[in-house]
Structure 1
Amino acid sequence: MAFTSAETRLRGSIDFSAYYETLCALQDSCPFREVVSGARKGRVVVNADRLALSDWHPLLKALQINKSLDYIAFRRYRRRKPTQEERQLWTRCKFGVRGSHPAIAKREVTTKLCRAIADCLTVTSNLTSLELEDISLKIDNVQTLSNGMTRNSSVRTFSLKYCQLGDRCLEVLSKGIRNCCNLVTVDFSGCCLTWKGAKTVAELIKFQSTQRHSQAWKDSLRQKEPNLDKMGGLRRITLCGNLLLGDKGACLLAEALEDDLWLKALDLQQCGISNKGARQLLACLGYKTNLSVLDIRLNPLIDATVRNSILLAVTEDSQAEEAFPWLDLAQEPETLSTSAPTRISVPAKKQRNVSYRGPLRTQYRKRPANGNRSIVTMIGSETTTGATISANTSGTSLYQSTDAKQVNELSQMEAFHREIQRLRVSIELCKDSLAKEIQGRAEAEARIVELEVENSRLKSELMKSYQVEHGQPGQASNGKTVLDDESTLEAVETAIKKFHAFVDLLKANELDHLTQ
């Protein structure tokens, strides 16, 4: 590939589509139509499953120096049910078929994509929205994005839906976005987060709240009134689809929201929350009036009364609702199989009777590319006239039965996935209960040992004090007899002498009859 001139690169930072087409021409490839048409409007929305390995190089080279785009989105659609148009496209085109492995699934492409986005975040001041959907990111990719977000001052919406981050990657990412005052909305839906991820989000909320309180204190000096709405920082956090978040994660988020005055919306659909976590969130709403959206729908473990109480408490501020609207009810994503391609039916078109003649490879080449293939009955070499069958009759009936079978299989798979998710939530709850029980038992056993030691010590001290005060007959506390003690003998001798002197005194006074 030939190198581009400095002047071309300078123009490419302003005109994305022209530079992208130039890079494609240099490597003798065709520009991607969706990229070119969207770039002219300042938006690049790419279906990553449809890009081949050779298509990524010019796209990433043009992206990493760009300064003009305001919206960048790379999405994969393997986790949701495809639309009718996408089904027809997958059926007629060889690329993007569900049975193939797209280039975005390779770690090399993912790493280059994250580096290009980080470079773009460093140089641009117009980008306001960045979305990565259903792209598997490793911890080094997340670190790259975090470094890019740290150096950016224009992105307001950041979404990593279904990117399978995990708790560790979210912790790395939070260190990069905690100081981004320009960032308003983050979306971590379906990122495999547990209560540890919720703890990271709670720490992020507390960190920004502390910074905002300091800024509000500075603005309140000299009888000024701080404007809380104009302060930068997060206003909406979306954590939908993280089934392992649970009550513990909800309690951590509720604790973080108690002292926060800026967060407006928190979305917790399908997060495995029960009545315990919902009541903690409801108690938080008692003295937090700025939160206008707290979405806990699609959590079947929450009673209707508790859910309605929360929804009623947060829907009072209609003005905030306009700025931060409620999300649509999330649908459970369907994981499309990549091991074997699935037949997709397309509405049958009216066709006339077709007779295939010639060699077998010629017949195969003449067949329609879509799913409405005519059923051909090849008769022996002695007859060739009865080799035609109507496609509207037998073909349609065959695919109707195939559609019914496919719908049945999809419904069974949905029920199976729901059951697996329910069991995962139950297992996680049981693990939390077991951990609490083990901790409680350990504390109880330690307390028992302490009490036994204290009891034995008190018994020994009591015996020693009893021996000192009363003692055994003829024994002292040190184990020697009383007669061996000189001070005791002197005291006894002195007492006897005093007694004899008293008797002599009585006799001298003629009172000796008292001694008898």
Structure 2
Amino acid sequence: MTNTQPRKEISSDFLSQYEHICALQGLVPLPAVRTSLKMGTLGFNADRLRLLDWVPLLSALRINKTLPCVSIRSTFQPSLQDTVAEKHKSYARRRIPAVTTKEVTIQLCKAIKGCLTISTALTNLEFQGILLRGRDIMFLAKGLNKSTSLTHLSLAFCPIGDVGLDILCQNIKSLTTLKTVNFTACNLTWRAAKHMSGVLKYQAIKRHEEVWTANLRNRNPDLEGMGGLKRVTFNSNPLVGDQGAHAFADSICDNLWLRALDLQLCGISSGGAKALLDSLESNSTMVILDIRKNPLVDHTLTRAIIEKLIHNGKSTKSEYKWLSSSSLKDFFRSKQKRRTIILGSGRKGKATIRIGIPSKKSVVTGRRYVPSKEFFAPDPLPSGVPWRTAERAKRYRSFPLIKSRDIPC
């Protein structure tokens, strides 16, 4: 869909449904949704939506059949340093997005399930930084199992864990339309690598059966046209390790269909890299095996893997490219940027407000950020000692220091 007219028709169809539901419920359509639909896709930052904003949006998404791409992202990162006693205070100081609640995530996955079930146009589904729980993943997996058009699935920075990936693998292994999956920074370990390796083995067996059937009928099998995964991304999962690398190496030995495997920042050492290099000896179709950003891998092994991949890529022109490295730190770095709002102009110039993260030297007291110097008394003691220190020394204002030798026995 390259021209502008079909995109406008797609966006207008979903927009008309969304606006109609908003009118029935007495709500105002979100400008962010209108802006994303100009390109014929639905993509927005979920952190900016209130609880009431989700109701018409999910209702329209559940019955929509024309959107080719749905991308929902969240950059909210709860503080990991807050103790249980301080959680209520920290929550009072900041607004928690509605997308982090159980009610919103489960309704979101139900809406996606309904869209995947009835839509023949949805090809790309991307969740970024969304907190998906076990029940949410089950609804999402049921929708994936019934999809007939999805080609790309991304759950980057969604902490689904090994159990969540196992549920997804059980439902996508028979999904022939799905070509690429992205599980970057999903809190995965070597167990998840084994689950994904099982999917690759299962699909390889099915494809070998199709090739065998085509040979029996004196037909030339179309290897490129066969369904199944062509790219698997496992970047930024440091607990995959060598056990996960060995699991992937076992699955790509005789795999003639997988083209790219991304394993950046996966805690792989030279032992796992050697297993992957050995698996490439019997694989002449893979063009990308990315083990960069693994400091325990010897440079000679990395060079040998790249040389083998270059040799494989000479025979065919691949559509898959090397990905830029990304981590969880880079994902949340965008939150540190400051914004400047111009209120207006007058005789003395423009009035501006700078919004952003406070500096490290400031501390939190109550509802607002104040500099550290406000912790000292406005009228300090002549000696310059802060009042907290004076209190610890039993030195009260306007009274001399009481020493132990002055106390009568």
Pick the TM interval, shorter chain: 0.7 to 0.9
Deviation track 1:299-352 (CA, whole Å, cap 9, x = no partner) reads: 111121111111121123157564111101224525869xxx989474999977
Aligned match of 1:242? 237
Paired residues of 1:292 and 1:320 also in contact (CA < 8 A): no
Structure 2 vs 1, CA of residues 371 and 331 (structure 1 numbering), >3 Å: closer, same or farther? same
CA–CA separation in structure 1 for the residues paired with 2:341 and 2:299: 42
**Whole-angstrom CA distance in 2 between matches of 1:343 and 1:265:** 34
- Does the 8 Å CA contact 2:75/2:331 hold for their aligned counterparts? no
User: Which residue of 280, 284, 288 maps to 2:283?
Assistant: 288
Match of 2:153, SS state, is strand
2:192 to 194, 197, 200: 197
CA contact (8 A) 1:246 1:273 kept: yes
Aligned residue identity for 1:283: D
Match status 1:106 vs 2:112: no
Distance 1:307 1:106, change over 3 A: same
Aligned mates of 1:23, 1:348 — CA distance in 2: 35
What amino acid is aligned across from residue 324 of structure 2 in structure 1? Answer: D
Distance 1:201 1:12 in 2: 34
C-alpha contact (below 8 Å) 2:71/2:125 kept by paired residues: yes
| Amino acid aligned to 1:107 | K
Other-structure match for 2:220: 225
Superposition pairs for residues 218-367 of structure 1, below 5 Å?
218-316=213-311, 317-318=313-314, 322-333=318-329, 344=338, 346=340
Contact 1:158–1:185 (Cα < 8 Å) also in 2 = yes
Q: Which residue of 1 aligns with 2:62?
A: 64
* Counterparts in 2 of 1:315 and 1:321: CA distance versus 1, 3 Å: farther
Q: 1:133 aligns with which of 99, 123, 128?
A: 128
Aligned-partner Cα distance in 2 for 1:233–1:343: 40
Q: Is the 8 A contact 1:12 1:18 kept in 2?
A: no
Quick check: 253-262 or 319-328, which moved more?
319-328
Give the drift of 1:106: 0.4
- Give the counterpart letter for 1:147 in structure 2: K
> Which secondary structure does the structure 1 equivalent of 2:217 belong to?
helix
Q: Could you tell me how far 1:31 is from its partner in structure 2? A: 0.9
Rounded Cα–Cα distance in structure 2 between residues aligned with 1:342 and 1:265: 33
Tell me the equivalent position of 1:119.
114
Distance 1:247 1:100, change over 3 A: same
| Bigger proportion of residues as strand | 2
User: Helix, strand or coil: the match of 2:224?
Assistant: helix
Report the aligned-residue RMSD.
3.1
- Aligned ranges 1:489-504 → 2 under 5 Å: none
Tell me by how many angstroms 1:266 deviates.
0.3
Give the structure 1 partner of residue 407 of structure 2: none
Cα distance between partner residues in 2 of 1:55 and 1:348:
27
Query: Which string of whole-angstrom CA distances, capped at 9 and with x for unpartnered residues, describes residues 152-206 of structure 1?
Result: 1100001111111111111111111111000000111111111100000110000
1:370 aligns to 2:350 (yes or no): no
1:387-426 aligned at under 5 Å gives the runs none
More helix by share: 1
Partner SS, residue 127 of structure 2: strand
Q: Give the Cα separation in 2 of the matches to 1:154 and 1:125.
A: 5
SS in 2 for 1:119: helix
Distance across 2 between alignment mates of 1:71 and 1:371: 35
- 2:16 is aligned to 18
**Which of structures 1 and 2 has the bigger CA Rg?**
1
Give the secondary-structure state (helix, strand or coil) at the position aligned to 1:72.
strand
**Distance apart, 1:51 and its partner CA:** 0.7
From the superposition, tell whether residues 15 and 349 of structure 1 become closer, same or farther in structure 2 (CA, over 3 Å): closer
In structure 1, the gaps of 5 or more residues are 1-10, 80-97, 355-366, 373-398, 407-516
Partner of 2:32: 34
Aligned-partner SS, 2:306: helix
C-alpha separation in 1, matches of 2:252 and 2:337:
49
User: Which residue identity is paired with 1:289?
Assistant: S
TM-score computed with the length of structure 2 as normaliser: 0.76
Indicate yes or no: 2:50 matched with 1:52: yes
Match for residue 175 of structure 1? 170
Q: Which residue of structure 2 aligns with residue 90 of structure 1? A: none
Contact 2:243 2:272 in 1 (8 A): yes
Q: Which residue, 199, 202, 209 being the options, matches 2:204?
A: 209
Query: For 1:29 and 1:319, how far apart are their aligned partners in 2?
Result: 57
Once residues 12 and 347 of structure 1 are traced to their aligned partners in structure 2, the CA distance between those partners, rounded to angstroms, is: 34
Q: Percent identity?
A: 37
Separation (CA, whole Å) in 1 of partners of 2:352 and 2:163: 46
Q: 1:405 Cα shift?
A: 6.5
> Are the structure 2 counterparts of residues 335 and 71 from structure 1 closer, same or farther at C-alpha, using a change threshold of 3 Å?
closer
User: Displacement, 1:268?
Assistant: 0.4
Q: Secondary structure at the match of 1:223?
A: coil
Instruction: Tell me: CA distance 1:19–1:284, structure 2 relative to 1, closer, same or farther (3 Å).
Output: same
Q: The residue matched to 1:46 in structure 2 has which SS?
A: strand
Question: How many residues are treated as equivalent by the alignment?
Answer: 337
Following TM superposition, by how much is the alpha carbon of 1:225 offset from its aligned partner in structure 2, in angstroms? 1.9
Is it true that 1:144 corresponds to 2:139 in the alignment? yes
Report the Cα distance in structure 2 between the residues aligned to 1:293 and 1:249, rounded to whole angstroms.
Answer: 17
CA contact (8 A) 1:184 1:232 kept: yes
Tell me the equivalent position of 1:78: 76
Q: Is the 8 A contact 2:128 2:157 kept in 1?
A: yes
